[in-house]
Structure 1
Amino acid sequence: MEVYQSLGLQAGIGLISHILFIVISFYALQAFRLEQLFKKGHTFQIQLIYILLSIAIGSTVSNFILDITNWSQQLPFIFS
């Protein structure tokens, strides 16, 4: 049963990490003025780009952090 609990815990941490970094990247993207790259009146497309960029950046950063965490936990196995 410990294996299932460990997998469930990793899944929960992964979900929280992804959501957290997507929100952080969405907040950070608000500093850019992407509206100037689009035609006037295309608000939906601008909002969609913000959301898609946030998901792409946030999930990439989250995967990086989760990978670093997993690898650092596996480092002690080098010496055993």
Structure 2
Amino acid sequence: MELVAHVVFIAIAFYALQALKLEEMVKKGRIFQARILFILLTIALGSIVAQFFLSLTRWSQQLPYLI
């Protein structure tokens, strides 16, 4: 479940980050480095969001035990 969640949210982050124009913020001739940065940002954002939703799911499953 966790692996699937991470892959799905990384794909969603990749799709969402494509809306940004990173080419304008990158120095000329640094295309390869910009692509690596884009990939790392995608993985980081997707993993953070996946971890949040997995934690939220775990917490919501534990709610009945608190009452």
- SS in structure 2 of the partner of residue 41 of structure 1: coil
Q: Which has the larger radius of gyration?
A: 1
1:60 Cα deviation from its structure 2 partner: 0.4
- Whole-Å separation in 1 of the counterparts to 2:11 and 2:32: 19
> Under a length normalisation based on structure 2, what TM-score does the superposition of the two structures give?
0.94
> Under a length normalisation based on structure 1, what TM-score does the superposition of the two structures give?
0.80
Residue 38 of structure 1 is matched in structure 2 by 26
- Whole-Å separation in 2 of the counterparts to 1:67 and 1:54: 20
- Whole-Å separation in 1 of the counterparts to 2:23 and 2:55: 34
- SS in structure 1 of the partner of residue 48 of structure 2: helix
1:42 Cα deviation from its structure 2 partner: 1.5
- SS in structure 2 of the partner of residue 39 of structure 1: coil
1:61 aligns with 2:61: no
Relative contact order higher in (CA < 8 Å, ≥ 6 apart): 2
1:46 Cα deviation from its structure 2 partner: 1.1
* Overall identity of the aligned pairs, in %: 52
- Mapping of residues 1-80 of structure 1, within 5 Å: 13-79=1-67
Q: Give 5+ residue unaligned stretches, structure 1.
A: 1-12
Runs of 4+ in structure 1 off by over 2 angstroms are: none
1:75 Cα deviation from its structure 2 partner: 0.4
1:15 Cα deviation from its structure 2 partner: 0.3
